[in-house]
Chains A and B, each alone.
Chain A
């Protein structure tokens, strides 16, 4: 559908998508663990609790569910922005370089 490109537009009808761009969602409940308590979490097991680190997923879930209107690829702030801008610089810069190189390569050689 058209949502992928214009998800910030208000959609009329029976239901609305979360308008992360225009209206920050006011969280009425604290973010709970997404996975219900019926599934066995690895951290539930007593003996292997601290085998290779502790479970930081609940903290990360809090960070990524913050109602700050940021898209998922920029949700962590500065490190995400840096990586994004680097990728953009390389791809857009590279595309321009590429078009120039292809243009030059398409010019006829005058000998032979």
Chain B
């Protein structure tokens, strides 16, 4: 019987990387066809194939770990490094948008009326819905930590309750932000104020949706007994990502919403 003499995971040949690359091609060229030639066929194809690839690739990782046992401590260490590096890259992504915000707001041009917020812009009151959103995300950070402790203590009921609460708080945030976007007196086209506001908060909102989805998958897996009290890295990765989303919001709130109003 053949056995490997190391603790790494040599994966089975998989079609998902190349199909994922093709999906990226279809999505990007689909955007071009949509922008310039008013056709959304390619874009739709791209997004659907992207979704299919993600579903099957991550499904296979669950199979390889929970059902086939390939995730040794060595493999898990690599996954931890990977997730940390990915989150770090996302931090740099947001750094760019914060840079853009400060570039325009620290030295407002004459076209803006030499002031920030620019002349005619009525910014959102940071003490109203944005403050509630801050409380919501902070609370969700508490509930996700509660969920983690419940998992390590083997308390299935509490873990499910706490994780469900976290996800519900995430949905509440998204719903409130959607309402804010709809009700805002300014749009993305309203000078560089609108651009920086909606691009930065918009990408954040997208990350909240991604984080909520990741947590939802974890809830599903938690209910299906995939996690044990000392091996539940998928959950930890989701929790790290969620804390990251919370931190980005805190920076957004303090700079764009509060200082920038």
Give residues in A with beta carbon < 8 Å to B.
Answer: 3-5, 7-8, 14-20, 23, 25-26, 28, 34-35, 39-45, 48, 51-53, 55-57, 60-61, 63-65, 71-73, 75, 83-84, 86-88, 90-95, 97-98, 101-102, 105
Contacts and interface: CB of A to CB of B under 8 A. Distances in A.
B67 A65 contact: yes
Contacts of B123: none
Contacts of A101: 29, 33, 42
Contact of B2 (A25, A53, A55): A25
Contacts, number: 156
Given A42-B227, A51-B160, A56-B225, A86 B52 contact: yes
B77 interface: no
Chain B contact residues: over half helix, strand or loop, or mixed? helix
Contacts of A55: 224-225
Chain A contact residues: over half helix, strand or loop, or mixed? loop
Nearest to A5: B13
A98 to B, nearest CB: 5
Contacts of B68: 34, 61, 64-65, 72
A103 B63 CA distance: 41
A14 to B, nearest CB: 7
A94 B63 CA distance: 28
27 contacts: A14-B5, A16-B3, A17-B4, A25-B2, A28-B1, A39-B231, A40-B228, A42-B156, A48-B156, A51-B156, A51-B157, A57-B66, A57-B67, A61-B68, A64-B68, A72-B12, A72-B60, A73-B14, A83-B52, A84-B15, A91-B19, A94-B45, A97-B41, A97-B42, A98-B26, A101-B42, A105-B33
